[in-house]
Amino acid sequence: MRVAIYYAPQQNDPLWRLGSHWLGRDADTNAQLSQPSIPNIAEITADARMYGFHATLKPPMTPIATASWDAVVTAAEDVAGRVAPFNLPRLELADLSGFLALRDAEPSAELQALADICVEGLDHLRTPPTEAELARRRRSSLTDAQDAMLVRWGYPYVFKTWFFHMTLTRRLSASELSVYRPALEDVFADTLRAPRRVTDLCLFTQASPGAAFVLAERLPLRG
């Protein structure tokens, strides 16, 4: 099993419904959902669909052999107990080197601090990556800073290399971007204007390699 800490909108937030339908799966119930009637949408969302609609705070990790599920939850609850709820910055659609995603419209020190404490707070329960996993990550031409994060924390995009994003597509060609970006702008136009708060941490689990990540626990922020 792998476990991750994500930000995910509340289930009664229209953003959760729209994002889940865009991807074709509700990560809370693991139910398959109808997607917008856009050519090839199932294929361009396949990778993101497996992970569910989310923004990564603590990247997926394999817990050490001696770590029970209760130990993972307790560590995450400890993190949640040290952080107070806060306002999520306004979100906007962004092109991340060909990937379309929702990004924060302005930097948030509170979001950064939350991601940092999630990475650090569960690290004692993380199984280090294998040499094969390191080699796979390094095929992405990491910067020196990203490689240093990979070696120390098991993932290249944490701390100073982390940024908030909610992935909605695979990497797209220029012609695909001209189709899917307007479609996404239309889908999310109204809901991105609504204010929202970060009030909990979401523990997602993956039962086996290739399985879909599902929302296992919501842990309220209590700081």
> The CATH number of the domain where 136 resides is what?
3.90.1140.10
167 forms beta bridges with 101
Q: How far is CA 207 from CA 62, 120, 139, in A?
A: 11, 23, 26
Domains in the chain: how many in total? Answer: 1
For tokens 């009637």, the residue is: 37
Say what the pLDDT of residue 32 is.
98
pLDDT number for residue 2: 97
pLDDT on residue 148: 94
DSSP-derived 3-state class of residue 182 = helix
Spatial separation of the C-alpha atoms in residues 170 and 89, rounded to whole Å: 24
For 196, the domain range is: 2-220
Helix ranges, the chain (H): 14-23, 41-44, 46-51, 69-80, 109-121, 131-138, 144-153, 174-188
Query: What average pLDDT values come out for the chain (223 residues) when binned by 10 residues?
Result: 97 97 98 96 98 98 96 98 97 97 96 98 95 91 93 95 97 97 95 95 96 98 96
Q: Which residues contact 67 (CB under 8 A, 6 or more apart)?
A: 125
Structure confidence at residue 55 (pLDDT): 98
Q: Residue 140 has what pLDDT?
A: 85
Amino acid at 173: S
Q: For the whole model, what pTM was predicted?
A: 0.95
Which tokens go with 15? 């953003």
pLDDT of 141: 86
Q: How far apart are CA 96 and CA 165, in angstroms?
A: 9
Q: What number of helices (H) and strands (E) belong to the chain?
A: 8, 11
